């Protein structure tokens, strides 16, 4: 693991390692996230099959989401209730027009204290609010992944601080 002031790299050699990383990030959200102060947005980027959905599902489990957590590929957004706050799981892959980003209601969701997790965030980056955290997932092997966590805000820095502790 290497760190600098705004980036943390973590390597997962298995799905269980990816789950452990999601658990550490979830602990960061549980300690640092205060929905009454506004929401947060996290972008997850990587190629098809890199594990974005798997990671978001694991993260939501650790944040207390119960029941089925489905991929929002066709619905664009699936809201969930975690144990401490509301979570919007979004997939921007199928967004084709700028107007579709406006219709998502991201600013309103953030002002209402939602945690927004956006797969394929780079597709809406020019029109969406700046993410607090940008996660890049790179495929290194069949089950091996490298996660690059880049903080884009003070809150993002606090989150990656939790990933730096191990």
Does a structural domain hold residue 2?
Answer: no
Q: Is 157 exposed, middle or buried (0-12, 13-18, 19+ CB in 10 A)?
A: middle
Determine the pLDDT at residue 5: 54
Least confident range of 15-19, 70-74, 105-109, 154-158 = 70-74
Domain-located, residue 12: yes
In a domain, 1, yes or no: no
Q: Is 128 a domain residue?
A: yes
Q: What is the pLDDT of residue 99?
A: 83
Residues of the domain holding 98? 7-163
Is the Cα dihedral 117, 66, 64, 105 positive or negative? positive
Q: Tell which residue, 119, 112, 28, 116, has the closest CA to residue 72.
A: 119
CATH assignment at residue 16: 3.40.50.300
Work out how many domains the chain is built from and give that number: 1
Task: Answer yes or no: is 97 within a domain.
Answer: yes
pLDDT digits (tens, 9 = 90+) for 73-105: 778 888 999 999 999 999 998 888 888 888 888
Q: Give 32-78 pLDDT, tens digit per residue.
A: 999 998 999 999 999 999 999 999 999 999 999 998 888 887 788 88
Is 123 contained in some domain? yes
pLDDT of residue 100: 86
Distances (CA, A) of 102 to 41, 71, 84, 87, 96: 15, 21, 27, 19, 12
68 belongs to a structural domain: yes
């Amino acid at each position: 693991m290497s760190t600098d002031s705004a980036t943390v790299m973590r390597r997962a050699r298995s799905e269980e390692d990816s789950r452990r990383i999601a658990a550490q990030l979830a602990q960061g959200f549980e300690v640092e996230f205060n929905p009454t102060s506004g929401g947060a947005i996290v972008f997850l980027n990587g190629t098809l099959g890199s594990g974005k959905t798997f990671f978001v599902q694991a993260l939501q489990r650790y944040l207390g989401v119960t029941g089925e957590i489905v991929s929002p590929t066709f619905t664009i957004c699936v809201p969930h209730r975690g144990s401490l706050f509301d979570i919007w799981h979004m997939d921007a892959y199928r967004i084709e027009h700028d107007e579709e980003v406006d219709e998502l209601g991201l600013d309103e969701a953030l002002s209402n204290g939602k945690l927004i997790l956006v797969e394929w965030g780079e597709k809406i980056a020019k029109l969406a609010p700046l993410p607090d955290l940008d996660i890049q997932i790179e495929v290194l092997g069949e089950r091996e992944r490298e996660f690059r966590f880049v903080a884009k805000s003070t809150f993002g820095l606090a989150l990656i601080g939790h990933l730096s502790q191990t």
